[in-house]
Amino acid sequence: MPIVRLEIANGIASTEQKKAVIRRMTDVLVEELGRNPEYIFVVIDEVETDNWGRKGQSLTELWQEREARTGKEEP
């Protein structure tokens, strides 16, 4: 009866993409660990980019810098 908890930045996944992630993460636990899917939970937490930091900066800042540098928009 595993629990998967997934944290991703808000805005990077559509409802359809989240469905696919839930289905495939469940499959991994069934196929690799032989778990019963009836009791496999997947919880997705979508985190605002102001609330997620890496190397001391918020994701909002990191993505703005990257866009300025590459002209490529995130996500």
Active site residues: 2
Residue with smaller CB distance to a copy of itself, 23 or 67: 23
| Nearest-approach distance from CB 71 to a copy of itself, in angstroms | 18
For residue 71, the 8-state DSSP code is -
| Nearest-approach distance from CB 62 to a copy of itself, in angstroms | 9
For residue 57, the 8-state DSSP code is E
Long-range residue pairs from 48-54, CB within 8 A, at least 24 positions apart, any chain: 48/10, 49/9, 49/10, 49/11, 52/9
Q: Using CB under 8 A as the criterion, which residues of the chain lie in contact with a copy of itself when the complex forms?
A: 1-9, 12-13, 15, 17-29, 32-35, 37-47, 50-59, 61, 75
Residue with smaller CB distance to a copy of itself, 34 or 71: 34
Residue with smaller CB distance to a copy of itself, 56 or 71: 56
Sign of CA dihedral 69, 70, 74, 75: negative
